[in-house]
Amino acid sequence: MTLNTGSKISAVVCSVMVIIGLAAVRHPGQLRTSRRGQLFIAGAEGCRRAPYRCFAGRPTVGIGSTGHVIMNRRYTDNEIADRWFSDMYTAETCINRYFNGRLMPQFPFEAMTSAALNVGCTDLWWNKKERHFTQIYREAQAQHWPAMCHRLPDFRYSAGKPVLLARRLREEAWCLQH
């Protein structure tokens, strides 16, 4: 879909639902995150065919994808769907590997996958500044799922500003549904 204001194109957006559907067709049964969970996660990101710089200044395209983005290029729905699948698969692998994801109930798994997708795997389990495991990692290791969920708002900063608090609070609420 192209948004048009007057005679200039102001933004190039894509449909989150179409991208998630395409990813499911192109990579059937390969993600644990439910369609509803994917819509929840993608809703926090939005979808753009044209690359842009996120709040932290990273080149971003599609549904929050930051890996190997080529600026000044328009991406197709199939490319965005493949990036979405790859990013989700990477985030799910992180949660399985570092947070006992295979033992985690569905809603906490989806909330943690959302956080891993947004924050990055290493930053979710390792505090670089203080050089120790994060509290959310420790709660997951102990399988204290509600306590783990309550740690999601700890990851509210991007570029030193608390711009992710609303997203983390939505993830916390999603997480606590189990």
Active site (catalytic) residues: 45, 54
CA nearest neighbour of 137 among 89, 110, 97, 175: 97
CA nearest neighbour of 110 among 41, 18, 23, 16: 41
Two structure tokens written together for 32: 């644990």
φ, ψ at 133 (rounded to 5°): -65, 145
Two structure tokens written together for 160: 């030193």
Distance of CA 128 to the CA centre of its chain: 21
H helix or E strand, kind and range, residue 41: helix 35-45
No. of H helices and E strands in the chain? Answer: 8, 6
Can you state the angle between helices 35-45 and 77-98, rounded to 10 degrees? 110
